Structure 1
Amino acid sequence: MTKLRLGPIENDKPVRLTIELPAAVHRDLVEYGRLLARESGQAEIAVAKLISPMLARFMGADRGFRKLRGER
């Protein structure tokens, strides 16, 4: 079975942010949440809960960001 890049979604104190997404991206996020919930045995995962860990993982894997951030 293929493993998704995100693991279980942790609860954390949220900061409210309003964004607009293309409909196709939203549909993909809904499907990703459905698949991740099934894979991890969690209840349905809302799109809003996916965005933060996805962004954190993206930034953590960006070598240029890590390098420039370390130069501050």
Structure 2
Amino acid sequence: MSAIKLPQLPDRTPVKLAITVLPDLHQALQDYAAHYARVYGKQAAVGDLVPAILASYLESDRGFLQSRKQI
């Protein structure tokens, strides 16, 4: 079998993660979902938005990204 330019894809199997949040964070997430609906004209459940919010946050944290390069 010959090699190809594209590397093997990483494991993309979703991992279920359950968390408990305080009422004020829950309300903020609901408010964010409502704002998202106003901006984009379609509803999105908080549970669908949280992974995107977390990914965006982690991708923008320079200190975290620098520390990951050192690992």
Please identify runs of 4+ aligned residues in structure 1 that moved more than 3 A.
Answer: none
**Matched residue type, 1:37:** A
Higher RCO by CA contacts (8 Å cutoff, separation 6 or greater): 1
Q: Which consecutive unaligned segments of at least 5 residues does structure 2 have? A: 1-12
The separation in 2 between residues aligned to 1:14 and 1:26, in whole angstroms, is 23
Q: List per-residue Cα deviations over 1:2-26 (Å, max 9, x = no partner).
A: xxxxxxxxxxx74211100001110
* CA gap 1:34/1:55 in 2 versus in 1, 3 angstroms: same
Alignment root-mean-square deviation, CA: 1.8
Q: Which has the larger radius of gyration?
A: 2
Share of identical aligned residues, percent? 34
Deviations 1:14-71 (A, max 9, x none): 42111000011101101110110120122x2111112111111111111111111111
| TM score, norm. by length of structure 2 | 0.73
Paired position in structure 1 for 2:53: 54
